[in-house]
DNA sequence: ACGGGTTATACG
DNA sequence: TCGTATAAC
């Protein structure tokens, strides 16, 4: 049976939704009395009335612009309502607007595949909806609709926004390949506010021919200027004269081919199904005299930033079941007596472990490290003019996971795909820089060789393999504990294949003197640190092809595999060692001199469906 | 030495 | 990879 593919890939119907003066609208929704009044949103107000970050259309009539100061706006437009961005922890707090943006996305997401492009912009793939419409509407009526749409920019389709739709039907499509997102984006800016612009395929060629390159997304900056100055390209149409090689010569293979393609309307950019941001960040500037000049003041602000970030990633975890793996700190700094206005302060990153104080400690370390690099051997005064931290490398938690605390309290997520016997396996999922191990170690290496080597390394180091389980789909992992339980752990992993731990365990036993040495896996050494074991413990329903042997432990007890036997209410009755161990998984003992170069991991417990 | 605070992406 | 630079809103 052939798979139905009714839709050629090049005929997507894509809308770009761009909110007009979004922050202002959010404030006006909150306080309807502001509606119709000239309104702007300002950040802070102590210096020259604060900086405007959004200006309503009523105020724009007076010439009020973004980037003006509040005082200036007031001069031009005495009646202007200046609404301050909320302040929390001494800094601007944009959560109100972020959440409003999420509201919009989730509404749009009911209409088609959505990609959140920014706090107030969404791409929306309406192909299915359009096809539905096409199939249910007689062609004559469709023509009429199209005509209407072309004549006037349809008003107020969405209370919140001006909407642009780019519509093309397969039968209208002549030679132009997918160019949709870019065009949609382009046209949404053409008629504002509260209007939509429809771009039929037939108009695209002419539109591009005269379109200034600077108007195109990605060409608004230096690259666009270079096109104008170095190549004399002023419109997208002008680009057509240049060969692909020529463009690559100037701008590299990647950018060169990209330019060549877009000038021909070729752009593979699909609307990616993503409703949530890929990272979270927060920062603050300390302009001029406010520059931070002591470690203590820096730490204070780092702590404030971390507090906010921690809250945000925690709510991302709670609401969206996502975990961030990397923490990055950026700063801008100057040196006293150094004529160079802004020497660069290096940005630094490390594995991200949850908990406000952990994040704060880590961020302060990152700052210290950056400051050392920044100062080198010089002993001179410095100042920090901006600080920011970010949480990135966010991944989804497997479905059905919950905190182990909840698990132990008996709050197990309801069973969906699996309903078999409840035997629980502990799994370890690699996070953040552990990905190094996979890409450096595993992908280049034969799986079996890798496993044997790992096993023999474990054996030769007199390490007791405590537990392993085969995790969901693509990643395999194991936790190796030393005999000295609780003192150190080594985390290793390998790409998942069908090989079970059973195999590995055997390999371990028989190859204790195997020639493969740990030096073959220097990257693994970096990950030997109990602190890598994150307390973010989850419970998940997965599929594990257990054979009942792979969980054998050799130091007297097992936990994890026998979780089915643990009644959460009688946790106290567990052997002391187990209790202690569980404690340590939650709160690994601190070790002063460990470098934190390894990664965090997340542990899951999965019920096993028995054959 | 800045409209300020975020996000995303490409490059080396 | 990580860190930097660029671009956008």
Lowest-pLDDT choice from A175-184, A504-513, A516-525 = A504-513
Nearest to A606 by CA among A353, A411, A398: A398
Residue A223, CA: closest nucleotide via C1'?
C6
Catalytic residues of A: 121
Percent of all residues in chain A with a pLDDT value above 70, rounded to a whole number? 56
Nucleotides in chain C near protein beta carbons (<7 Å): 1-9
A2 secondary structure, DSSP code: P
pLDDT class for A584, splitting at 50, 70, 90? very low
What gap in Å lies between CA A353 and CA A386, rounded to an integer?
24
Residue A565: count of CB within 10 angstroms of its CB: 12
Mean of pLDDT values over A465-479: 27
Question: What is the torsional sign of CA A583, A588, A589, A590?
Answer: negative
A572 secondary structure, DSSP code: G
Q: What is the pLDDT of residue A579?
A: 53
DSSP A357-384: HHHHHHHHHHHHHHHHHHHTT----EEE
| Residue-wise pLDDT tens digits, A382-431 | 999 899 999 998 887 755 444 433 433 434 333 322 222 222 223 333 32
Residue A43, CA: closest nucleotide via C1'?
B4
Cα distances from A534 to residues A305, A365, A441, A484, A600, in angstroms, run: 22, 19, 22, 19, 5
pLDDT class for A268, splitting at 50, 70, 90? low
A 221-250: CB within 7 Å of strand C:
221-224
For the CA of A113 and the C1' of C6, the distance in angstroms is 28
What gap in Å lies between CA A479 and CA A426, rounded to an integer?
9
- pLDDT at residue A90 is higher than 60: yes
The rounded mean pLDDT for chain A is 63
Strands (E), A150-285: 161-166, 280-285
- pLDDT at residue A352 is higher than 70: yes
Residue A68, CA: closest nucleotide via C1'?
B3
Q: What is the pLDDT of residue A459?
A: 36
Cβ A67 to strand B below 7 Å: yes
- pLDDT at residue A381 is higher than 80: yes
Q: What is the pLDDT of residue A147?
A: 65
Q: What is the pLDDT of residue A281?
A: 92
Q: What is the pLDDT of residue A398?
A: 56
Question: What is the torsional sign of CA A134, A140, A144, A146?
Answer: positive
Cβ A51 to strand B below 7 Å: yes
Cβ A288 to strand B below 7 Å: yes
For the CA of A250 and the C1' of B2, the distance in angstroms is 32
Mean of pLDDT values over A120-143: 82
Cβ A92 to strand B below 7 Å: yes
For the CA of A483 and the C1' of C3, the distance in angstroms is 39
Cβ A526 to strand C below 7 Å: no
Mean of pLDDT values over A150-154: 46
Q: Would you give the end-to-end CA distance of chain A in angstroms?
A: 31
Mean of pLDDT values over A29-53: 91
Q: Is A544 within 8 Å of A458 (Cβ atoms)?
A: no
pLDDT class for A543, splitting at 50, 70, 90? very low
Question: Which residues have a Cβ under 8 Å from the Cβ of A51 and sit 6 or more positions away?
Answer: A42, A43, A44, A67, A68, A69, A70
Q: What is the pLDDT of residue A602?
A: 29
With distances taken from each CA to the C1' atom of nucleotide B3, the closest residue turns out to be A67
Residues A603, A604, A608, CA angle at the centre, nearest 5°? 145
For the CA of A138 and the C1' of B6, the distance in angstroms is 46
Q: What is the pLDDT of residue A16?
A: 85
Percent of all residues in chain A with a pLDDT value above 90, rounded to a whole number? 20
- pLDDT at residue A30 is higher than 60: yes
Nearest to A412 by CA among A568, A601, A186: A568
Q: What is the pLDDT of residue A250?
A: 85
Q: What is the pLDDT of residue A149?
A: 60
What gap in Å lies between CA A284 and CA A301, rounded to an integer?
9
Instruction: Set out the domains of chain A in order of their start, with CATH numbers.
Output: 18-90 (3.40.1170.60), 99-263 (1.10.150.20), 280-396 (3.30.1490.100), 402-608 (no CATH)
Cβ A78 to strand C below 7 Å: no
Q: Which residue has the higher pLDDT, A507 or A142?
A: A142
Q: Which residue has the higher pLDDT, A597 or A186?
A: A186
pLDDT class for A266, splitting at 50, 70, 90? confident
With distances taken from each CA to the C1' atom of nucleotide B6, the closest residue turns out to be A281
Cβ A341 to strand B below 7 Å: yes
Q: Which of A137-146, A481-490, A509-518 has the highest mean pLDDT?
A: A137-146
Q: What is the pLDDT of residue A24?
A: 92
Cβ A91 to strand B below 7 Å: yes
Q: Is A63 within 8 Å of A38 (Cβ atoms)?
A: no
- pLDDT at residue A518 is higher than 90: no
Cβ A435 to strand C below 7 Å: yes
What gap in Å lies between CA A96 and CA A63, rounded to an integer?
27
Mean of pLDDT values over A124-144: 81
| Residue-wise pLDDT tens digits, A279-304 | 999 999 888 888 999 999 999 999 99
Residue A369, CA: closest nucleotide via C1'?
C3
Question: Which residues have a Cβ under 8 Å from the Cβ of A235 and sit 6 or more positions away?
Answer: A208, A209, A210, A211, A212, A213
Taken as a whole, chain A contains a residue count of: 611
For the CA of A340 and the C1' of C4, the distance in angstroms is 18
Cβ A101 to strand C below 7 Å: no
pLDDT class for A222, splitting at 50, 70, 90? confident
Cβ A279 to strand B below 7 Å: yes
For the CA of A254 and the C1' of B9, the distance in angstroms is 12
């Amino acid at each position: 049976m052939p798979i139905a593919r009714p839709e050629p890939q090049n005929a997507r119907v894509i809308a770009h939704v761009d909110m007009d003066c979004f922050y202002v609208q959010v404030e006006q929704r909150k306080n309807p009395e502001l509606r119709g009044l000239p309104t702007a949103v300002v950040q802070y107000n102590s210096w020259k009335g604060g900086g405007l970050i959004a200006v309503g259309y009523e105020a724009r009539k007076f010439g009020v612009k973004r980037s003006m100061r509040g005082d200036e706006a007031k001069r031009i437009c005495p009646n202007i309502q200046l609404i301050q961005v909320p302040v929390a922890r001494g800094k601007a707090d944009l959560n109100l607007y972020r959440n409003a943006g999420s509201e919009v996305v989730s509404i749009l997401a009911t209409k088609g595949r959505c990609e959140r492009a920014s706090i107030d912009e969404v791409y929306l793939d309406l192909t299915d909806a359009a096809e539905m419409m096409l199939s249910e509407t007689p062609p004559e009526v469709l023509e009429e609709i199209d005509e209407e749409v072309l004549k006037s920019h349809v008003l107020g389709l969405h209370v919140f926004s001006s909407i642009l739709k780019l519509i093309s039907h397969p039968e209208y499509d002549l030679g132009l390949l997918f160019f949709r997102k870019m065009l949609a984006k382009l046209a949404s800016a053409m008629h504002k506010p509260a209007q939509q612009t429809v771009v039929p395929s037939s108009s695209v060629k002419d539109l591009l021919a005269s379109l200034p390159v600077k108007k195109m997304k990605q060409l608004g900056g230096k690259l666009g200027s270079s096109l104008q100055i170095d190549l004399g390209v002023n419109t997208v149409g002008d680009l057509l004269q240049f060969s692909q090689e020529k463009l690559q010569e100037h701008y590299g293979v990647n950018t060169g081919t990209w330019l060549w393609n877009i000038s021909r309307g070729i752009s593979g950019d699909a609307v990616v199904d993503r409703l949530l941001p890929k990272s979270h960040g927060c920062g603050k500037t300390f302009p001029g005299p406010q520059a931070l000049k002591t470690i203590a003041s820096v730490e204070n602000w780092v702590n404030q930033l971390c507090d906010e970030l921690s809250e945000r990633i925690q709510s991302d975890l709670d609401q969206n079941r996502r975990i961030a793996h990397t923490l990055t700190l950026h700063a801008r700094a100057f040196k006293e007596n150094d004529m160079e206005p802004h020497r660069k302060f290096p940005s630094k990153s490390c594995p991200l472990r949850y908990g406000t104080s952990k994040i704060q400690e880590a961020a302060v370390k990152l700052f210290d490290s950056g400051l050392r690099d920044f100062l080198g051997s010089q002993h001179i005064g410095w100042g920090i003019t901006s600080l920011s931290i970010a949480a990135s490398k966010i991944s989804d938690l497997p479905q059905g996971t919950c905190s182990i605390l909840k698990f132990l309290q008996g709050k197990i997520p309801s069973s969906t795909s699996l309903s078999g016997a409840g035997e629980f396996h502990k799994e370890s999922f690699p996070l953040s820089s552990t990905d190094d191990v996979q890409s450096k170690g595993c992908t280049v290496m034969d799986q079996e060789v890798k496993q044997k080597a790992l096993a023999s390394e474990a054996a030769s180091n007199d390490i007791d393999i405590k537990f392993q389980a085969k995790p969901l789909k693509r990643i395999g992992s194991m936790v190796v504990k030393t005999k000295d339980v609780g003192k150190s752990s080594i985390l290793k992993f390998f790409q998942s294949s069908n090989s079970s731990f059973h195999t590995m365990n055997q390999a371990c036993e028989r190859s204790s003197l195997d020639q493969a040495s740990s030096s073959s896996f220097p990257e693994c050494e970096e990950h030997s640190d109990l602190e890598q074991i994150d307390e973010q413990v989850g419970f998940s329903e997965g599929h594990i092809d257990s054979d009942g042997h792979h969980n054998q432990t050799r130091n007297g007890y097992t936990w994890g595999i026998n979780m089915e036997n643990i009644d959460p209410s009688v946790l106290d009755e567990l052997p002391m060692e187990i209790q202690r161990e569980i404690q340590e998984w939650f709160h690994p003992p601190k070790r002063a001199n460990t470098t934190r170069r390894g990664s965090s991991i997340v542990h899951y417990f999965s019920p096993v469906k028995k054959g």
